[in-house]
Amino acid sequence: MFSGGGMLSAFFLPATVLVMWIAAPLGWVELTVYDSFAALAHHFVVRLGLFGFVSLAFFHWAHRFRYTLYDGLQLYHLTDLIAVLTYGSAAILSLAAGVILLIL
Amino acid sequence: MGEPVNPGYTEHHAKWHRRRIPIFWWLGNAAYTKFIVRELTSLAVGYAALVLVFQVWSLERGPESYAHFVSWLQLRPVVTLHVVVLGALVYHSVTWLNLAPRALVLRLAGRRLPGAVVLLLHYGAWLVASAAVLWLLLAA
């Protein structure tokens, strides 16, 4: 999951962030009209794909951050706590994303 | 056996003799710092995923809620944050893809494909994925 999340985010996130969160708010580009955007986001396949992607991204963060805390901050003695906090929050975030994207 | 052969013998406890590593050991060396920064880009990945979900959620709740989200995106500090996030994401992509030749060993007709080919294929895939995103968001 770590590597899947890493690969997918490496491929898709930079362009997404550049267009949606930098270029569009600054007025450099015009995003697709709200209605077609909403229709796109409504499509079940899109939502399923998005759910898969964000779950992988959350677990990618969790796994990597856990080891960064170990190696970076030498927190080996907190190993169990860190594992629960990182993977736990990734699980909760994925669950929340699932509810928002697939059920609501 | 009975008596120990060498009563002065104590078991070897290598871990007890380890030097404590200082908590900011990685700041002392550019290579170590780059490593930690690289790993911390995972925060940018998690953040982007989170805001993406939030964006779809606000889209779901209707035009006013989405307009609210869009105006949040336009705030100066938010744009600045997102520029930093973009930098982190690009650093993640570049460092991740640069490891592809080491992680993926491809063989063709019994010979190993050179690392440069694997690298080029991955960067090509990145280009295609980015083009697809641009098309989806701008042209569709």
Please give the span between the terminal C-alpha atoms of chain B, in angstroms, as a whole number. Answer: 84
- Among chain A residues, the shortest Cα distance to B90 is held by A14
- Among chain B residues, the shortest Cα distance to A97 is held by B53
Question: 3-state SS of A67-85?
Answer: HHHHHHHCCHHHHHHHHHH
Out of A10, A62, A96, closest to residue B92 by CB: A10
Site from A61, A73, A92, A103 to mutate, B interface, most B CB atoms within 10 angstroms: A61
Query: According to the model, what pLDDT value does residue B140 have?
Result: 61
CATH fold label, A2-103:
3 helical TM bundles of succinate and fumarate reductases (1.20.1300)
Is residue A75 within 8 Å of A69, Cβ to Cβ? yes
Out of A14, A63, A72, closest to residue B89 by CB: A14
Instruction: Kindly give the confidence (pLDDT) of every residue in chain A, 104 residues in length, as a single tens digit, with 9 standing for 90 and above.
Output: 888 999 999 999 999 999 999 999 999 988 877 777 788 888 889 899 999 999 999 999 999 999 999 888 888 888 899 999 999 999 999 999 999 998 87
Q: Does A34 touch chain B (CB under 8 A)?
A: yes
B97–A29 C-beta distance less than 8 A = no
CA distance A14 to A21: 10
- Share of chain B residues as helix, strand and coil, in percent rounded to the nearest 5: 75, 5, 25
Which is more confidently placed, A61 or B105? A61
Provide CB contacts within 8 A for B32, sequence distance 6+. B25, B26
A41–B137 C-beta distance less than 8 A = no
Can you give the residue ranges of every domain in chain A?
Answer: 2-103
- Among chain B residues, the shortest Cα distance to A75 is held by B23
- Which amino acid belongs to residue B9? Y
Confidence band of B125 (pLDDT split at 50, 70, 90)? very high
Which is more confidently placed, A35 or B31? B31
CA distance A102 to A98: 5
Other CB atoms within 10 A of residue B59 CB: 18
B79–A25 C-beta distance less than 8 A = yes
ipTM: 0.92
Quote the minimal CA–CA distance from A80 to chain B in Å: 19
Other CB atoms within 10 A of residue B50 CB: 17
Cα dist from B83 to A9, A14, A17, A35, B91, whole Å: 16, 10, 9, 27, 12
Contacts of A68 in chain B (CB under 8 A): 36, 39-40, 42
A58–B49 C-beta distance less than 8 A = yes
Is residue A31 within 8 Å of B137, Cβ to Cβ? yes
Find the helix or strand (DSSP H, E) in which B99 lies: none
Q: Which long-range contacts (CB under 8 A, 24 or more apart) does B114-123 make?
A: B122/B97, B123/B97
Site from B35, B40, B42 to mutate, A interface, most A CB atoms within 10 angstroms: B42
